[in-house]
Structure 1
């Protein structure tokens, strides 16, 4: 049975990997493991050791704390909107595309989206 913290960390690994446009194979190569192990980490089927999480964080340019963001006290409730949204492939592609837009244009797009959502 998956532990909720393992599942959360795995989702955050997948989320970050998608955000930077990295494949499981590329991450596995940087960390020195097989891509199947990355798959197991991302699904929460295997726990990520502290040293391996350190390597993954380094390979993806984040701190270890990134993988624990969004956990509630005691990890009792892990069903928060951001986690659910980031599990959606289309939403991740949209966010990745958004961040590939130059900052000035991205700000204008954000303002437009806010106006449109207020009008709906």
Structure 2
């Protein structure tokens, strides 16, 4: 019985923390929205792309100074990395104090932001340089969506 407890404790210690996984997924989300490769992010931080991969998977914990560097390179407030954290991990309304991008919207699932289609659409939208054309595209998309 005691050896089973030790095995369970060792396995638990080698699993990434759900918070580290969440923060890593937010790094990946922002990097992807910017159209930045893991290599480019690594160069900006003085890391290899393998280290960036480990951060994004939550395998390696991101320290405070690295989180600060990531926020500067990815041009987001530090709180962005904690936005949309599930309540069971300490997320929820209290996340808003970090000054991130969290917006609670009815019917808007967090998974939607992580789909490749969403990321590609956002990137393409922001590549439209003419503000009036971008506004017309925005209005078109809104008009095609079912009304609430």
Contiguous gaps of at least 5 residues in structure 1:
none
How much does 1:76 deviate? Answer: 5.7
How much does 1:12 deviate? Answer: 0.9
RMSD: 2.1
2:110 aligned with 1:87, yes or no?
no
2:145 aligned with 1:117, yes or no?
yes
How much does 1:90 deviate? Answer: 2.3
Partner of 2:8: none
What is the TM-score normalised by the length of structure 1?
Answer: 0.84
Partner of 2:125: 98
Query: Which has the larger helix fraction?
Result: 1
For 1:60, which of 53, 61, 74 is the aligned residue?
74
Partner of 2:6: none
2:40 aligned with 1:13, yes or no?
no
Query: For structure 1, which segment, 106-115 or 28-37, has the greater mean C-alpha deviation from structure 2 after superposition?
Result: 106-115
More RCO (CA 8 Å, sep 6+): 1
Q: After the TM superposition, list the runs of 4 or more consecutive aligned residues in structure 1 that deviate by more than 6 angstroms.
A: none
Instruction: State the alpha-carbon separation in 2 of the partners of residues 73 and 115 from structure 1.
Output: 34
Instruction: State the alpha-carbon separation in 2 of the partners of residues 2 and 11 from structure 1.
Output: 12
Instruction: State the alpha-carbon separation in 1 of the partners of residues 21 and 75 from structure 2.
Output: 21
Number of corresponding residues? 117
- The alpha-carbon distance between structure 1 residues 76 and 61, as it changes in their structure 2 partners (threshold 3 A), is closer
What is the TM-score normalised by the length of structure 2?
Answer: 0.70
